[in-house]
Structure 1
């Protein structure tokens, strides 16, 4: 079995997650082709030009669950062409079963992706043995693709256990995990993978996670990067060059810009409206025109939507600020 195009040691910096732009009217279930191709191309090019180290697509707010296969295939083709090999592209291929996931993975490989952002089937909860067998089956079917495990405890009916992480890290194609909820198990999970794969915290948690594993936690994921990635690019520079004092200050700014994004401060409540809230925030920021949500995930309580719009506006301001020439950026303090 051949190895993946990328190894865990290649996973560094900002892994920016982009939406799947939708044309007006895409909230109508009668519309068969919802993909905004020109905006998809423009957005992918912009993320790379502004410093993203990799592009991830078609996870939760990328609407993997509500795209037709034709739309997902065409979207992938546009993104891969726009990125043109300048950074790795990971595309979500999650379905409700292993066979369909493998079929998608093979088709995406043929389009030219570097890897997959891969959650586990979510109709029923899978135990550790079935979870590991699922990822191993996909890895064996597309051995040249790197896999980023998607560990979303709300979407996939529970968090991946530490024991399962140790077994996943034995699969050469598994190079990283998108780790949405940083908490008390992170240190145990980090020890279990033992440098064989990267655990990717969200941008706001990257510094805290990095302090637990300075030699291993060298990348983050960010949906907020689709509101303009310059703050996250600067955060990556500060962390990877050892300017942890400066990183502390920037993390505080990102936290302030995200205040109110989680309704009532609850990740579980946020997860009920994940797609809607992310697209509302991105559209408010104006960096990417994400368009409307695809059905059935349309509605969102206005107080929650207001929090997302406010966060998008603040993140857009941060992007504009950190897009200024280096000499005009806020001065970072030295030291760890």
Structure 2
């Protein structure tokens, strides 16, 4: 028999909340904190779709002991005075969105780590929230990201006696405001530094079998990349698409970003601009993997300067785009 948790007694219309959710980050750039974070992240069946009997021994006795120290050092190389870049920029973004949307309560949560989704939802419930819009900060939908956020939200509110009205933003990869913000970010970079010989749009990778199973992620990455290239007036051959952050030995989406960099270096490209449209906020994968690790790889392969274009972070264009997106999804709800 299911035991439901008592809900606070409420009078009046209740409040509307916007829950922003990003992936998550360790609490500190230390081996122990990274191990806890990776343990939670890589234990999610949406992320690694393997039998727990097979996967858990590999994870806890091989991957976590071997990788936690290296990953902690990578985090230490990008850590800010205020903390992890992903959390710092996501928190600032939530604060700016609260100013842009005073009629709703805006909160930030992380799918893995803190602030946790369950804790944040319980705090919103205590504040009188009865209507909830969930906005995962993933422009492209994947079962490994957006669906995992949905799982965590439903797992928490499913235990409540009084359920809130619930809406969920699945993706926004062709949203005009988001594309406006990306276009503006790239043009600002070109105004300051000049235009590189190529523009590489690098997205986080996925195992190929996710696409085979029906995940729309690669199609959405490609559609958004083409829309952005068209806005920038780039012809075929002036821009490329790649997938980064491969893990394990199984086939992943291609072309791989690192292989693309080697090819471009071999072609004699000396200035390469790289943008990562799948990341709402700068993080380990953009600041360490692309701006540092892949820049070194490009030089070592005979290329020249790899110029990373910062994520939208808490920039005004990003705030305006997400505020407009939220307002469309909030239509018809009365806000206390």
Instruction: Name the TM-score, length of structure 2 as normaliser.
Output: 0.29
Task: Indicate the structure with greater strand content.
Answer: 2
Instruction: Name the TM-score, length of structure 1 as normaliser.
Output: 0.29
Q: Which has the larger radius of gyration?
A: 2
